Chains A and B, each alone.
Chain A
Amino acid sequence: MTEAAETSAQSPTSRARRIWDSDFMWSFRHAPVAVVSFFVVVVLILGAVLAPLIAPHDPFDPATLNLMNGFTPPGDANAFTGDRFLLGTDDQGRDVFSTILYGMRISLFVGFAAVALAMVIGVTLGLLAGYLGGWVETIIMRVADVQLTFPAILVAMLIFGIAKGITPPEYRDQMAIWVLILAIGLSDWVQFARVVRGATLVEKSKEYVQAARLIGRTPFSIMLRHILPNVLNPVLVIATISLALAIIAEATLSFLGVGAPPTKPSLGTLIRIGQEFMFSGEWWILFFPALALLALALSINLLGDWLRDALNPRLR
């Protein structure tokens, strides 16, 4: 079309213009749900990253806490101190808004790190299995099959339990976050491996890969330069959906008391703490962390859902 002819020039503005006009961006601009989700995710991530700058209080600094401020309802002035808190305070007098921001930091950190770990493991093993075949493939895919028999959350719990058994008690709280990342990451690599292996098998048989082999490229460079770019779309979709799952898994483990410790509360820990006050009427201690978790998981899921459709037009 005529537009295409005009944008052939390589100036930066025209490149931005072309990205904006691409099918991908077009379907983004025309999916209000995706746009809204995207902005919710961005705002939440910014809130978490900038928590030290935004949060009115530092929930980890005992000096700023005043037990007298405990159980202040959202928006109201505290009966003793007269302080006001946007989302109220918990039993310790901690500002709920601040704890949520810091809690999200931990939830998001664990989520991103776990997905990154799962992705690195899964993509590597998937590429190896698909490209090398033979016994490498058999072993990798057998292990994947066995692990897939068990729900990820159970595998994560088990890894957490074992790691807890191995770490000396005095380090357990410090290590908890890393153990969580390890547990969730290791429980979630299979999806990546399966998809990447499938795509690798398809690409491997294509002529350009055969040609690259003939001209003597090493398997490593073929995998990196020719096959990897072709599996990026499905990996991106799985990563997005995995991120939501990882955040939920982290929250679940922490809620069950086998995740982030109370000294470093994630959203799940906050909900666990808040649950105790549900029966006595201090609903905000539970409600706002729960809402934050839901907003985070839902908007990432919606984004992933849209991404899957946008990158895979066949499924429309």
Chain B
Amino acid sequence: MLAYIIRRMAQSILVLFVVGLVAFSMFRFVGDPIDNMLGQERTQADIERLREQLGLDQPFVVQYWRFLEQAVQGNFGLSYRQGRPVADILIERLPATLELAVVSGLMALVGGIALGIFTAIWRRGVSANVIMTLSLVGVSLPTFLIGILLIYLFSVELGWLPSFGRGEVTDLGGWTTGFLTESGLKALILPAFTLGLYQMTLIMRLVRTEMLEVLRMDYIRFARARGIREKSINFRHALKNTLVPVITITGLQLGSIIAFAIITETVFQWPGVGLLFINAIQFVDIPVMAAYLMLISVMFVGINLIVDMLYFVIDPRLRVDRTQGGH
């Protein structure tokens, strides 16, 4: 098991190296950093001095290594657009995104698994079929349209909930939270639902497919042939087997919530890192793009590692010997 974890760790670090390379290449080759940093009035001497200062005269590998050194310390330079350190901007914006992502993720997970089980068990029932059809509409409905629809309904027509922003936030030593005020919570409802709905639909469909697959297995038939109650077959025999494959994809889904937050944050003008990223793309603000990319990669890789660990908890076959494998 230890060997497996170490191998996965090594893979994760490799992924981060590759992403770092992409981020670095963006710095180095997309637009000229000198152009971006010096104003219109510059002398050749200025350029040379800055080249040396930035280490741009060094070989590529050395530059890449320096970039990684800086990145590990959280130093991504100044935002071209705001002129402030990128790290500061990100840290300031991160709580908004994380709070949104956690609430939507929980909703997607709980709702998705529950609905998935329901539609698998009662797959011939009317309500299960209605849910399945709705879910297809949900998958086909782009996130931003769901957001607009919700704004139209609850903000424009009914006037119950705010259509943009985070509401009133409380500062807890550098972490701003919207959980503690009424307006903060109200402002969270629509974005969280928008962001969670799509993921919930995906998780639901996945759980359903996997569960149907498991319910066809011989050991389920055998359990039936032994007169085990349906309830125990569904929740004891089938659910656990369903969860093994579901965990991976669900883990990845939850990771992608942070990425999909970009869309939701734009629709609701939610002041998180996603909105920051979109603005950075529009203005070709390379340091912000690169830093966001690195930040999000670290999160994804972290989530993937946790998912891998979870496997061991659930599946006894992995705990003993991986080479025996198969399923």
Contacts and interface: CB of A to CB of B under 8 A. Distances in A.
Q: Are A and B in contact, CB atoms below 8 Å, in the complex?
A: yes
Contacts of B18: 146
Contact of B263 (A244, A252, A302): A252
Contacts of B263: 153, 252, 255-256
A313 to B, nearest CB: 13
Interface residues of A, number: 39
B166 to A, nearest CB: 19
A278 B139 contact: no
B266 A248 contact: no
A276 B35 CA distance: 36
**At the interface, is chain A mostly helix, strand, loop or mixed?**
helix
B293 A158 contact: yes
A290 interface: yes
Interface string A133-168: 000000000000010111101100110111011100
Given A286-B148, A301-B140, A149 B156 contact: no
Nearest to B266: A256
A290 B148 contact: yes
B137 interface: yes
A150 B136 contact: no
A44 to B, nearest CB: 13
A279 B139 CA distance: 26
Contacts of B142: 248, 251-252, 255, 293, 297
B252 A297 contact: no
B55 interface: no
Contact of A294 (B140, B260, B284, B286): B140
Nearest to A305: B136
A158 B293 CA distance: 9
A102 to B, nearest CB: 20
A3 to B, nearest CB: 31
B143 A149 contact: no
Interface of A: 146, 148-151, 153-154, 157-158, 160-162, 164-166, 244, 248, 251-252, 255-258, 271, 275, 278-279, 283, 286, 290, 293-294, 297-298, 300-302, 305, 315
Q: Which 10 A-B pairs have the closest CB atoms?
A: A165-B30, A151-B256, A298-B140, A161-B281, A297-B140, A154-B259, A151-B259, A301-B140, A248-B142, A165-B284
